Homo-oligomer: A and B are copies of this chain.
Amino acid sequence: MGGKESTDLKENTISSERIYDGRTINLRRDIVELPDGRQAQREIVEHPGAVSIVPILEDGTVILVKQFRAPINKVTLEIPAGKLEPGEAPEHCAARELAEETGYRAGRLEHKGTFYTTPGFSDEIMYLYIATDLRPVDSQPDFDEFLTGERIGLEKLLEMAEQGKIIDAKTLVGIYTAARFFLP
């Protein structure tokens, strides 16, 4: 293979500079020592972590949300998701976000994976759940969240993914993961 055959790939942080402490994210700049002793700079976005949920109704359709995403200036179709509150357990967050964004409570909430969205520049961790046995509940999204719900079958969602109609990474992971469990 083309890579240097280093048995120890680890970088050691030499110094760390706070650049920005924000409401949703923080930014810091680290100087790291590379395995060969040289130094490099790493810009790191600190994120509180998040959950995403694939809510599946009795009839097999998935509840998704449409919302405007300022960073990409586009309306996206995504599985429900949201950031962890300080100290909040991922499962609690998943139940909360599901209710807030879709108006459903899950009788069954199964943890189906944990991944990092962008390990190259951020520490955001994402806990993925599949929610079933759904019951309507009264709820309201956050004041700055405007979204509308959509119900789409899993097979149709796989087609949409192949056609480039699903452009959100966690939603792609969620759909493919759910398909492994719910489609023959």
Contact = CB atoms under 8 A, between A and B. Distances in A.
Contacts of A5: 148
A149 B3 contact: yes
Contact of A19 (B27, B34, B63, B149): B27
A34 B169 contact: no
30 contacts: A3-B65, A3-B147, A3-B149, A4-B147, A5-B148, A6-B148, A9-B66, A11-B68, A23-B43, A25-B121, A30-B70, A35-B146, A45-B45, A45-B121, A45-B122, A69-B119, A71-B116, A72-B116, A72-B119, A72-B123, A78-B119, A113-B162, A113-B172, A115-B167, A116-B169, A117-B118, A118-B118, A172-B173, A173-B176, A176-B177
B10 A68 contact: yes
Contacts of A100: 2
Interface in A140-166: 140-141, 143-149, 158, 161-162, 164, 166
Contact of A67 (B9, B23, B169): B9
Interface string A107-118: 000000111111
A115 B166 contact: yes
Interface residues of A, number: 90
A56 interface: no
Interface of A: 1-6, 9-11, 13, 19-20, 22-25, 27, 29-30, 32, 34-36, 38, 40-45, 47, 50, 63, 65-72, 74-76, 78, 81, 99-104, 113-126, 139-141, 143-149, 158, 161-162, 164, 166-170, 172-173, 176-177, 180
